Amino acid sequence: MKRKKLVAANWKMNLTLQEGEALISALLSGLPDQPTCDILIAPPFTHLQTALTQTRNSPIGVAAQHCHEQASGAYTGEVSAEMLKSLGIRFVITGHSERRQLFHEDDNRVRQKVDAIVRAGLTPIFCCGEPMEIREAGKQVEYVREQLKSGLFHLAPALFERVIIAYEPIWAIGTGQTATPEQAQEMHLAIRNEVADRYFSKAGEELRILYGGSVKADNAQSIFSMPDVDGSLVGGASLDADSFLKIIDAAC
């Protein structure tokens, strides 16, 4: 089956509201008329409403970078999946290595967030990926398999259908050191096979698996040419309209 490619921008904690608006305007004016791939941007919480308004009736969808696992309550500073849903958000990134490392979100917490996201009827973009020492030890597939098992594979098949996975080797994030297309392909195929084993082969075939980690305008094409790479989660290169448009072009 032919999976539609998806290019998602993870702005992280970058850009003021005005800078974000200017970036979205530049993207909207530079997009092809009818892009053949899906496009998402994930701005900070403070920019979501504006981003939704600006992108209404356009090919750009809006995702959140994070949510809390509870629906509501005394969690000062947090935002729930229910709240995001009430805004009109449909996608939430979870399990990003920066959340796991800097905010101590372990597998158990990531699983609870996945549950909260699907309970709200939204789509999780579930990030997984190994640190450098695990890759050097040649244990990356086992490592990612464990992340999938503990964070995702408890989902019933009907809920799993909604999931998007982003493979982001930690050593490639923000470092300029991209995985080779072959390294990405090897892991994506392993993930697809794991999913097919846990669920059924159709779930594996239909699952979109994005690659993330120093994707840029000049390496996107070779990564996207791999048969099991269905697009990308882009950090740094998504903050510049020209470079993100080139990545969209490579996917479309």
Nearer to ligand PGA, 20 or 236 (CB): 236
| Active-site position among 47, 66, 68, 96 | 96
CB atoms within 10 A of CB 158: 8
Q: What is the DSSP letter of 61?
A: E
Active site residue 96: yes
Rounded least distance, CB 100 to ligand PGA, Å: 12
Q: Tokens 């009818």 identify what position? A: 34
Q: Is residue 214 at the binding interface for ligand PGA, with CB under 6 A as the rule?
A: yes
Tokens 């409403």 correspond to 49
Spell out, one character per residue from 154 to 193, where the chain touches ligand PGA: x when CB under 6 A holds, - when not: --------------x----xx-------------------
Contact status: 124 vs ligand PGA (CB under 6 A): no
Please say whether the beta carbons of 119 and 80 come within 8 A: no
Q: Residue 77 contacts by C-beta under 8 Å, 6 or more apart in sequence?
A: none
Instruction: For residue 85, give both structure tokens.
Output: 């849903």
Beta strands in the chain (DSSP E): 6-10, 38-42, 60-64, 91-94, 123-128, 164-167, 208-212, 231-234
State both tokens at 208.
């979109």
Total of residues contacting ligand PGA (CB under 6 A): 13
- Binding segment for ligand PGA (CB under 6 A), chosen from 133-141, 147-155, 156-164, 208-216, is 208-216
The end-to-end CA distance of the chain, in Å, is: 17
| Shortest spacing between CB 169 and ligand PGA, in angstroms | 10
Check: CB of residue 86 under 8 Å from CB of residue 118: no
According to the binding rule CB under 6 A, does residue 213 interact with ligand PGA? yes
89 scored as a contact of ligand PGA (CB under 6 A): no
User: Near ligand PGA by CB under 6 A, which window of 25-33, 109-117, 155-163, 213-221?
Assistant: 213-221
Q: Is 168 annotated as catalytic?
A: yes
Is the dihedral angle over the CA atoms 42, 50, 159, 94 positive or is it negative?
A: positive
The Cα 187–Cα 166 span in angstroms is 11
Residue nearest ligand PGA (C-beta atom):
235
Among 234, 247, 250, 251, binds ligand PGA (CB under 6 A): 234
Nearer to ligand PGA, 226 or 234 (CB): 234
Contacts with ligand PGA, residue ranges (CB under 6 A): 10, 168, 173-174, 212-215, 233-237
Active-site positions read 96, 168
